[in-house]
């Protein structure tokens, strides 16, 4: 496999740009809403609200949490990916599944599991622990896919030049996995900016929890909008940093790669230590949540809250998840094609804009869509399509990250060959690009489906009357401290999430050989 730097061609297909603009416009609706709300606040009032000591405290707590969790997720994700893809780790097939499975457990379910067992996880320490154990697979997945797709000859050349294992890793491996590493870290950081449920459970104040409080309890839209603008600014800073660190050019394969597999690095005397680390990681990320759920399932419980059908909630969850996965993947495709195959200032701006809503709490996205629905499309208010649209806005960046990483590994010469044979761009897309992109499309849809089935805050506000999902019903019972009654909903939610998670682990092979 040989890597080259991609440069944007001179002409960008107009239909592709149009489709990308449609996607960016849809995803930008909550940001437009927030800016409009904040713009209606006078300058004196805005200064008064933003200069409150509470805002500085929230900024500090949010920044500390985001920095700690993102750094730990990168360290754990990269280390686990290297051990499973480049080292002679015993039982590697089992570990490849176990290190990804925590992403099947919703973050707020993990929080519920830990808090129901001990109150020691309250505050920053608990928030960092729970979020890291839930989110590190978002770094592991793309990094593992890229590591398995790398040409082992490059490591051989580096070693022949006298570089040791550490130098080979830092000077050869890290630069090549940098796009995947930074993409995963970006998603982790943006998720943390908008997460509400977990931090409400462990009682750790962030901008997201304060925004939810302002809307739900204080009903102060001005303060909530200004706090949301701060999140948008933080999001722009993160996007700018990721773009700068990744570089203006992308890498792509121009050859099929070496037919031989990479020679695993021998762990030697470090094997027991590495196995102990994987065992501890699995025990904390999987053992505690699963054990807690098992405990509450066996113990059971009672509640004065009205009963709800778990199977009806499961059906709604599956239907909404499948719809959101299909729509989000479809809308992310033109943006990914523009970002990788036609990279330029306009396409970079277009791609970056689709991430902005990821930093907003679900409550803000929901209220934005309610506003636009009431003013411009009242027929979709309190309907399933509006809820699906909220899921698309929230989780389209997940699909975009996967599709972008997959496209960088598809040789651009294949599409150029198709064009040179006189085929129209749409024909080349359908007959050449999409078949090669198939594994990435499946992985993107699986990741969006997984996130949708566990979404909470937007669902609470936008679900049609009488509709319940596994996440909302679980939240109703845990809010009433009915842990035993909530446990079956959490267990079924984890079971539903386990299948797409397993498919994601299986797709690593396909992604690396595309």
* Alpha carbons 478 and 53: distance in angstroms, whole number: 32
* 467, 384 contact by CB (below 8 A): yes
Whether the per-residue pLDDT at 100 is higher than 50: the answer is: yes
Closest to 146 measured CA to CA, from 168, 169, 167, 177: 177
* Alpha carbons 61 and 63: distance in angstroms, whole number: 6
CATH code, domain with 364: 1.10.3720.10
Task: Give residue for tokens 């969006």.
Answer: 448
Q: Band of the pLDDT at 70, cuts 50, 70, 90?
A: very high
Determine the pLDDT at residue 416: 55
Determine the pLDDT at residue 389: 93
Residue 291 lies in a domain: yes
Which neighbouring-strand residues pair with 87? 265
Whether the per-residue pLDDT at 444 is higher than 90: the answer is: no
Whether the per-residue pLDDT at 123 is higher than 60: the answer is: yes
Determine the pLDDT at residue 306: 55
Residue 495 lies in a domain: yes
pLDDT digits (tens, 9 = 90+) for 328-360: 999 998 888 888 777 777 888 888 888 877 777
Determine the pLDDT at residue 319: 92
* 433, 410 contact by CB (below 8 A): yes
Q: For the stretch 367-377, what's the b/e string if a residue is b when 16 or more beta carbons lie within 10 angstroms of its beta carbon? A: bbbbbbbeeee
Determine the pLDDT at residue 34: 81
* Alpha carbons 118 and 106: distance in angstroms, whole number: 19
Average pLDDT of the residues in 417-446: 67
pLDDT digits (tens, 9 = 90+) for 150-162: 666 666 666 666 6
Determine the pLDDT at residue 77: 93
- H or E element: which one contains 40? none
Determine the pLDDT at residue 275: 94
pLDDT digits (tens, 9 = 90+) for 186-209: 889 988 888 877 888 888 888 888
Residue 256 lies in a domain: no
Determine the pLDDT at residue 129: 92
Q: Band of the pLDDT at 313, cuts 50, 70, 90?
A: confident
Cα dist. 208→59, 61, 211, 505 in Å? 11, 11, 5, 31
248 vs 41, higher pLDDT: 41
> Helices 470-479 and 483-512 sit at what angle, rounded to 10 degrees?
140
Determine the pLDDT at residue 378: 82
Determine the pLDDT at residue 213: 77
Whether the per-residue pLDDT at 404 is higher than 50: the answer is: yes
Cα dist. 440→81, 409, 499 in Å? 18, 10, 17
Owning domain of residue 450: 3-250+270-512
Determine the pLDDT at residue 78: 92
pLDDT digits (tens, 9 = 90+) for 2-14: 444 444 444 677 8
Residue 261 lies in a domain: no
* Alpha carbons 511 and 81: distance in angstroms, whole number: 15
Give 231-293 as a DSSP string. HHHHHHHHHHHHHHHH-S-EEEESS---SSPPPPBP-GGGHHHHHHHHHHHHIIIIIHHHHHH
* Sign of the torsion formed by the C-alpha atoms of 45, 49, 51 and 53: positive
Residue 257 lies in a domain: no
Determine the pLDDT at residue 283: 93
* Alpha carbons 343 and 16: distance in angstroms, whole number: 13
> What count of other Cβ atoms lies within 10 Å of the Cβ of residue 355?
21
User: Beta strand 250-253 with 3-6: parallel, antiparallel or unpaired?
Assistant: antiparallel
Task: Give residue for tokens 């176990």.
Answer: 98
Whether the per-residue pLDDT at 438 is higher than 50: the answer is: yes
Average pLDDT of the residues in 242-249: 66
Determine the pLDDT at residue 248: 46
* Alpha carbons 240 and 255: distance in angstroms, whole number: 31
420 Cβ contact list (under 8 Å, min separation 6): none
> Helices 174-194 and 384-407 sit at what angle, rounded to 10 degrees?
160
Residue 264 lies in a domain: no
Average pLDDT of the residues in 94-104: 86
CA angle 256/261/265 to nearest 5° reads 135
Average pLDDT of the residues in 457-463: 84
Whether the per-residue pLDDT at 73 is higher than 70: the answer is: yes
* 115, 202 contact by CB (below 8 A): yes
Q: Band of the pLDDT at 324, cuts 50, 70, 90?
A: very high
* 110, 130 contact by CB (below 8 A): yes
Residue 255 lies in a domain: no
* Alpha carbons 360 and 447: distance in angstroms, whole number: 19
Determine the pLDDT at residue 484: 73
Q: Which of 379-383, 454-458, 499-503 has the lowest mean pLDDT?
A: 499-503
Whether the per-residue pLDDT at 250 is higher than 60: the answer is: no
Domain count, the chain: 1
Determine the pLDDT at residue 239: 80
Average pLDDT of the residues in 429-439: 67
Average pLDDT of the residues in 436-458: 82
- Provide the H-helix boundaries in 150-220: 152-160, 165-168, 174-194, 197-201, 207-213
Q: For the stretch 56-88, what's the b/e string if a residue is b when 16 or more beta carbons lie within 10 angstroms of its beta carbon? A: eebeebbeebbebbbebbbebbbbbbbbbbbbe
pTM, rounded to two decimals: 0.77
Residue 260 lies in a domain: no
Whether the per-residue pLDDT at 418 is higher than 60: the answer is: no
Whether the per-residue pLDDT at 43 is higher than 80: the answer is: no
* Alpha carbons 279 and 250: distance in angstroms, whole number: 36
Average pLDDT of the chain is 78
Q: Quick one: tokens of 99?
A: 């290190």
Determine the pLDDT at residue 220: 62
Backbone angles phi, psi at 192, to 5 degrees: -65, -35
Which neighbouring-strand residues pair with 151? none
């Amino acid at each position: 496999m040989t890597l080259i730097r991609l440069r944007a061609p001179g002409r960008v297909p107009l239909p592709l740009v149009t489709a990308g603009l449609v996607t960016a416009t849809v995803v930008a609706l909550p940001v437009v809403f927030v800016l409009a709300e904040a713009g209606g606040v006078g300058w004196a009032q805005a200064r008064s609200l933003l200069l409150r000591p509470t805002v500085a405290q929230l900024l500090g707590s949010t920044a500390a949490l985001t920095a700690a969790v993102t750094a730990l997720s990168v360290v754990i994700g990269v280390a686990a990916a290297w051990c499973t893809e480049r080292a002679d780790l015993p039982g590697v097939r089992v570990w490849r599944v176990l290190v990804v499975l925590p992403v099947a457990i919703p973050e707020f379910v993990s929080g519920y599991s830990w808090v129901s067992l001990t109150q020691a996880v309250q505050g920053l320490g608990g928030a960092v622990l729970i979020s890291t154990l839930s989110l590190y697979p978002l770094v592991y997945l793309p990094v593992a896919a890229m590591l398995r797709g790398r040409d082992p000859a490059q490591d051989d050349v580096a070693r022949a030049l006298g570089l040791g294992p550490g130098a080979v890793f830092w000077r050869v491996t890290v630069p090549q996995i940098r796009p995947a590493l930074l993409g995963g870290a970006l998603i982790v950081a943006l998720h943390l900016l908008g997460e509400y449920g977990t931090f409400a459970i462990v009682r750790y104040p962030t901008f997201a929890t304060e925004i939810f409080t302002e809307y739900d309890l204080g009903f102060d839209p001005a303060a909530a909008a200004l706090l949301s603008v701060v999140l948008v600014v933080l999001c722009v800073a993160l996007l700018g940093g990721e773009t700068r660190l990744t570089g203006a050019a992308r890498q792509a394969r121009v050859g099929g790669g070496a037919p031989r597999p990479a020679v695993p690095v021998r762990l030697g005397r470090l094997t027991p230590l590495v196995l102990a680390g994987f065992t501890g990681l699995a025990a904390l990320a999987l053992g505690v949540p699963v054990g807690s759920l098992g405990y509450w399932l066996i113990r059971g419980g009672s509640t004065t809250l009205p009963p709800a059908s778990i199977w009806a909630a499961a059906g709604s969850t599956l239907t909404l998840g499948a719809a959101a996965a299909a729509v989000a993947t479809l809308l992310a495709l033109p943006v990914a094609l523009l970002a990788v195959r036609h990279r330029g200032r306009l396409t970079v701006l277009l791609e970056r804009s689709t991430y902005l809503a990821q930093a907003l709490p679900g409550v803000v996205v929901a209220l934005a869509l309610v506003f636009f629905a009431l003013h411009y499309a009242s027929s979709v208010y309190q309907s399933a399509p509006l809820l699906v649209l909220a899921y698309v806005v929230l989780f389209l960046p997940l699909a975009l990250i996967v599709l972008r990483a997959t496209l960088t590994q598809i040789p651009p010469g294949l599409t150029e060959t198709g064009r040179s044979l006189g085929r129209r761009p749409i024909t080349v897309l359908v007959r050449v690009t999409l078949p090669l992109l198939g594994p990435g499309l499946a992985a993107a849809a699986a990741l969006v489906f997984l996130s949708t089935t566990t979404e909470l805050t937007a669902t609470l506000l936008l679900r049609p009357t009488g509709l319940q999902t596994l996440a909302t019903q679980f939240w109703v019972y845990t809010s009433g401290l009915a842990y035993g009654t909530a446990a079956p909903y959490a267990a079924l939610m984890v079971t539903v999430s386990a299948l797409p998670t397993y498919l994601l682990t299986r797709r690593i092979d396909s992604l690396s050989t595309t």
